[in-house]
Amino acid sequence: MIDTRDITGLILAGGRGSRMGGVDKGLQPFRGMPLAQHALRRLAPQVGAVMINANRNLAAYEAFGAPVWPDGLADYPGPLAGFLAGLEQCRNSWLLTVPCDTPLFPTDLAGRLAAAATTQGADIAMAAAPERQADGSMRLRSQPVFCLLRAGLLESLRCFTQEGGRKVEHWITRHACAVAAFDQPGDDPLAFCNTNTLAELHALEGLESP
């Protein structure tokens, strides 16, 4: 089994926030606290170390008490730039990434992803959660930014981004990837609700988890 103390958690807060009007998404308030701080408090007890990927307002993020690392790639190229920054600074054997805009992610995320990686003999483990379809049915949808990565994948990711690759899903297909389904009794149906707009953020704020 992977010891969760050998996992470094990374909060992805380096995006443009374009669908929120260009605001720094991780610093937007949610239930009285910035989104990124919610993520930090939820993630820190699950892992051995934690850090933040951000590209603006670095002092504000540093005030949360975790190391902050900006993208090494220019022009906000997306989550993989955050993955790369995290792997370059990771001192543990595994890196767990979570986005800053999904404040209710599971409190057992690290353990279940680690179990999936171990059981399925994979270098990557990704979360999947139920999503309602247009016909009312539910199906599992992958959540590629909730990702547990073996730290030794740094060179693979570096080469992929140097080749111009930007899609998390495309890079993941190069490696053995396990899937952990968060569809069990007791799993919070709001756990993977992300907030791309301020309206979505305010709507989630008013909902109660079971």
Contact 90, 3 (CB under 8 A): no
Say how far apart CA 151 and CA 190 lie, in whole Å: 29
Distance in angstroms (rounded) separating the CA atoms of residues 70 and 15: 10
**Cα–Cα distance between 85 and 106 in angstroms, integer?**
24
Residue 139, domain member (yes or no): yes
pTM of the model: 0.94
96 falls within a domain: yes
Q: How far apart are CA 158 and CA 160, in angstroms?
A: 5
pLDDT attached to residue 210: 60
| 118 within 8 A of 1, measured Cβ to Cβ | yes
Asked whether residue 210 is assigned to any structural domain, the reply reads no
Per the structure, the complete domain to which residue 188 belongs is given by 4-205
**83 belongs to a structural domain:** yes
With respect to residue 41, please indicate whether it lies within any of the assigned structural domains: yes
- The tally of domains found in the chain comes to 1
Strands (E), 79-181: 94-99, 124-132, 138-150, 177-181
CA atoms of 25 and 128, how far apart (whole Å): 23
Per-residue pLDDT, 209: 67
Sequential pLDDT tens for the chain (210 residues) = 899 999 999 999 998 777 787 789 999 999 999 999 999 999 999 999 999 999 999 999 999 999 999 998 888 788 999 999 999 999 999 999 999 999 999 999 999 999 999 999 999 999 999 987 777 778 899 999 999 999 999 999 999 999 999 999 999 999 999 999 999 999 999 999 988 888 999 899 888 666
CATH number at residue 112: 3.90.550.10
The predicted-structure confidence for 114-171, as pLDDT tens digits, reads as follows 999 999 999 999 999 998 777 777 889 999 999 999 999 999 999 999 999 999 999 9
Q: Which amino acid is at 33?
A: M
Q: What is residue 157's predicted lDDT score, i.e. its pLDDT?
A: 97
User: How much is the pLDDT for 23?
Assistant: 85
CA distances from 138 to 132, 135, 168, 183, 192 (A): 4, 9, 24, 10, 14
Identify whether 163 is part of a domain: yes
Phi-psi region of 46 (alpha: psi -120 to 50; beta: other; left: phi over 0): alpha
Cβ pair 204, 194 in contact under 8 A? no
